[in-house]
């Protein structure tokens, strides 16, 4: 027997659209806020008030785990600032500011680092935090972290003399060591969750326990993530917001549409949308923010030197000469980026030597490129010299860069097969299997060459993601990089000039562009100046922002 029931409507494709998704999230948050509104005491208008919520939106490309000790893909990095924390952070000028560590000191010989930790802290699951968690994070996670790979061989000791002190000893000085211990490169992980488990497969990588302002609540795969206020956050009474939702929208235009329409509150802008966002901001409901001291974001090409013709330096040089980087800037970045001039980013003013300049060494010159290919033995036959596969993550700005390169290189007889892939497939193909001809990626220079630049050029016998997949290994360059990383600032520039010269000659990787970072945010939030007092690879953690009652 079947009882009579109202027939349920079958879901349609429209029900799963990004706009429907964010409206559902808004409705859920509204109900949540109304349920708790009766208990809200009246407060002065400009005094931070608790309550309300924020919806941030992003492209979910590659978002399979949240633990940024194990991945450096952008979506996970944006979200990590919400639930994770570290020993220190950076303000808008790049100055180090205390977080989990209240203070730190460095020995006169530059080898010993002592961190004094906050006392009485708890993880988001209520378990106590101590120095043992810091020791565990460094000793057990560093081998998986692409940014810490440089410091691991130098660690001579890691000690916790008491529950609020950590001492790290290095076998030799490392100029950028403190940078390695900030919350972006070294987010702290709970020992009680990971100890005795297989770290890469631990469920906490998707359901994290952290020290950040919000705690994980749920993840609806491909649609949204939910975080609620962490009652154990160290910087009370922050955060002021009750809840943070992440809407996953895989389209740059739809992301901005959702912000303009008031459906979401924050996006990191794709370059194709910045001008439109600036126009929309004239109504005062949203604000476009340029991160002034950003970590260098540099689109780069890795050549697999294990294979012909990529193994021939003349071919690599020819492809560089055949690349109009101003055209790439126009096609992919709307003219807001600029051509990178050497291996050491221009933002590192004390370290970059302008005498090594790609614009002069490899100016756009298709005729010279063609002559080099002739000289290398790859002469034109029936309009073609050879074919290569260009592998990249199928998202912006890589799609536009790849198409621009294919069109340009076709002019000199190089046939380019475009291979736009899912990020995990691309990662496996390039870094684990080394099964590629040329790989296109945007790599951050972080805050020092030791962190973000060395990984592209130093010898790499392992298969660590985002670390030199080209097969290139120059022991002289490794020696110079090691010397530069251990030298006082005044001596580093001369060493990095040698570094730049070797890379410019050998070209296992060529750096195309250097791009800034733009955010857009709803102006209904108060305290945005404090919220966006960030630099380098910091992202909004939403601990500072608050909503007046009439804006909820």
Cα 427 from Cα 200, distance rounded (Å):
15
Residue 22's pLDDT is: 59
The token pair at 299 is: 């689109």
How high is the pLDDT of residue 17?
A: 53
| Mean pLDDT along residues 367-391 | 97
Can you tell me the distance from the alpha carbon of 341 to that of 295, in angstroms, rounded to the nearest whole number? 16
Residue 19's pLDDT is what? 54
Name the residue with higher pLDDT: 431 or 32. 431
Q: What percent of the chain has pLDDT over 90?
A: 80
**Beta-carbon neighbour count of residue 50 at 10 Å?**
17
pLDDT digits (tens, 9 = 90+) for 391-444: 999 988 999 999 999 999 999 999 999 999 998 899 999 999 999 999 999 998
The most confident of the ranges 9-13, 251-255, 367-371 is: 367-371
CA distance 148 to 222: 30
Contacts of 104 (CB under 8 A, 6+ apart): 87, 88, 113, 114, 115, 116, 178
Structure tokens at 341: 């001039």
**pLDDT grade, residue 21 (50/70/90)?**
low
C-alpha angle 140-73-89 in degrees, rounded to nearest 5: 65
Q: Is 329 exposed, middle or buried (0-12, 13-18, 19+ CB in 10 A)?
A: buried
pLDDT averaged over the chain? Answer: 91
Region 379-384: mean pLDDT is 94
Tokens 């010898």 sit at which residue? 459
| pLDDT, position 38 | 40
Residue 502 has pLDDT above 50, yes or no: yes
- R_g of the chain, CA atoms, integer Å: 25
pLDDT band for position 4 (50/70/90)? very low
* SS3 (DSSP) at 228: strand
What pLDDT does 149 receive?
A: 74
Better-scored residue on pLDDT, 188 or 447:
188
pLDDT category at 10 given cuts 50, 70, 90 is very low
Burial of 263 (0-12, 13-18, 19+ CB in 10 A): buried
pLDDT for the residue 40: 41
Read off the pLDDT of residues 142-176 as tens digits, 9 standing for 90 and up. Answer: 888 888 877 888 999 999 999 999 999 999 999 88
18 pLDDT above the threshold of 70:
no
* Per-residue pLDDT tens over the stretch 270-318: 999 999 999 999 999 999 999 988 889 999 999 999 999 999 999 999 9
pLDDT for res 29: 57
Q: Is 102 in contact with 116 (CB distance < 8 Å)? A: yes
Q: What is the mean pLDDT of residues 364-391?
A: 97
Q: Which is it for strands 286-291 and 88-90: parallel, antiparallel or unpaired?
A: unpaired
Buried/exposed code over 289-309 (b: 16+ C-beta within 10 A; e: otherwise): bebebbbbbbbbbbbbbeeeb
Q: Return the pLDDT at 30.
A: 53
**495, exposed or middle or buried, with CB in 10 Å at 0-12, 13-18, 19+?**
buried
CA–CA gap between residue 2 and residue 522 (Å, rounded): 51
Average pLDDT over residues 465-469: 91
Q: How confident is the model at residue 457 (pLDDT cuts 50, 70, 90)?
A: very high
pLDDT band at 28 (very low <50, low <70, confident <90, very high): low
What confidence score (pLDDT) does residue 462 get?
81
**How far apart are alpha carbons 346 and 452 in whole angstroms?**
13
Residue 79 phi/psi, 5-degree rounding, is: -75, -30
pLDDT exceeds cutoff 80 at 370: yes
Model pLDDT for residues 216-231, shown as the tens digit of each residue:
999 999 999 999 999 9
DSSP-assigned states of every residue in 277-316: HHHHGGGSSEEEEEESSBPPEEEEEEE-TTSTTTT-HHHH
Query: Residue 394 and residue 254: Cα distance in Å, rounded?
Result: 17
| Residue 175 CA to its chain's centroid (Å) | 22
What are the pLDDT digits (tens) for 56-110?
999 998 899 999 999 888 899 999 999 999 999 999 999 999 999 999 999 999 9
Quick one: angle between helices 475-486 and 489-506, nearest 10?
160
Q: What are phi and psi of 139, to 5 degrees?
A: -80, -30
Q: Which of 288, 242, 295 is nearest to 267 (CA)?
A: 288
Residue 421, Cβ neighbours under 10 Å: how many? 16
What strands, in cross-sheet order, belong to the sheet with 112-117?
101-106, 112-117, 165-170, 155-162
pTM (global) more than 0.85: no
For residue 351, is pLDDT > 70? Answer: yes
The per-residue pLDDT for 33 is 47
> Which pLDDT score, from 0 to 100, does residue 514 have?
94
**Binning pLDDT at 50, 70 and 90, where does residue 12 land?**
very low
Q: Sketch out the chain's domains with CATH numbers.
A: 13-84+212-293+517-551 (3.40.190.10), 88-194 (3.90.76.10), 297-514 (3.10.105.10)
243-248 β-sheet, strand order: 214-220, 224-229, 243-248, 53-58, 266-268, 517-522, 286-291
């Amino acid at each position: 027997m079947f009882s009579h029931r109202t027939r349920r409507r079958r879901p349609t494709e429209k029900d799963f659209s990004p706009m429907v998704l964010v409206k559902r999230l808004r409705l859920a948050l509204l109900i949540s806020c109304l349920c708790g509104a009766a208990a809200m005491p009246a407060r002065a208008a400009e005094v931070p008030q608790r309550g309300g919520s924020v919806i941030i939106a992003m492209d979910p490309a590659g978002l399979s785990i949240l633990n940024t000790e194990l991945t450096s893909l952008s979506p996970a990095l944006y979200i990590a600032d919400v639930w994770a924390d570290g020993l220190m952070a950076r303000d808008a000028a790049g100055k180090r500011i205390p977080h989990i560590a209240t203070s730190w000191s460095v020995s006169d010989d530059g080898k010993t680092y002592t961190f004094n930790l906050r006392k009485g802290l708890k993880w988001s699951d209520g378990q106590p935090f101590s120095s043992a968690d810091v020791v565990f994070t460094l000793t057990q996670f560093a081998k998986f972290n692409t940014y810490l790979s440089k410091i691991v061989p130098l660690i001579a000791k890691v000690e916790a003399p008491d529950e609020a002190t950590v001492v790290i000893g290095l076998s030799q000085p490392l100029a950028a060591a403190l940078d390695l211990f900030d919350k972006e490169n070294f987010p702290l992980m709970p020992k009680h969750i990971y100890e005795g488990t297989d770290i890469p497969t631990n469920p906490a990588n998707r359901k994290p326990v952290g020290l950040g302002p919000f705690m994980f609540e749920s993840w609806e795969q491909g649609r949204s993530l939910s975080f609620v206020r962490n009652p154990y956050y160290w910087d009370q009474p922050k955060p002021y917001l009750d809840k943070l939702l992440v809407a996953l929208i895989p389209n740059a235009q739809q992301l901005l549409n959702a912000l303009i329409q008031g459906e979401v509150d924050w996006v990191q802008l794709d370059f194709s949308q910045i001008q439109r966002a600036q126009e929309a901001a004239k109504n005062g409901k949203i604000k476009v923010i340029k991160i002034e001291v950003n970590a260098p974001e540099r689109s780069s090409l890795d050549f697999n030197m294990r294979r012909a013709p990529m193994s021939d330096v003349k071919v690599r040089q020819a492809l560089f000469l055949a690349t109009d980087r101003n055209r790439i800037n126009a096609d992919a970045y709307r003219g807001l980026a600029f051509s990178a001039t050497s291996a050491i980013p221009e933002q590192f003013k004390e370290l970059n030597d302008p005498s090594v300049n790609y614009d002069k060494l490899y100016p756009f010159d298709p005729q010279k490129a063609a002559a080099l290919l002739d000289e290398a033995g790859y002469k034109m036959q029936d309009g073609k010299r050879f074919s290569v596969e260009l592998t990249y993550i199928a998202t912006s700005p890589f799609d536009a860069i790849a198409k621009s390169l294919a069109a340009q290189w076709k002019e000199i007889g190089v046939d380019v097969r475009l291979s736009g892939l899912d990020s995990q497939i691309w990662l496996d193909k390039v870094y684990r299997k080394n099964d590629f001809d040329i790989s296109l990626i945007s790599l951050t220079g972080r805050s020092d060459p030791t962190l973000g630049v060395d990984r592209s050029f130093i010898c790499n016998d392992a298969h660590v993601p985002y670390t030199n997949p080209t097969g290139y290994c120059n022991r002289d360059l490794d020696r110079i990089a090691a010397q530069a990383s251990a030298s006082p600032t005044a001596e580093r520039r001369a060493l990095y000039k040698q570094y730049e010269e070797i890379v410019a000659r050998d070209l296992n990787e060529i750096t195309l562009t250097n791009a800034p970072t733009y955010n857009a945010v709803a102006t209904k939030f108060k305290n945005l100046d404090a919220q966006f007092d960030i630099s380098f690879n910091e992202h909004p953690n939403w601990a500072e922002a608050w909503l007046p009652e009439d804006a909820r």
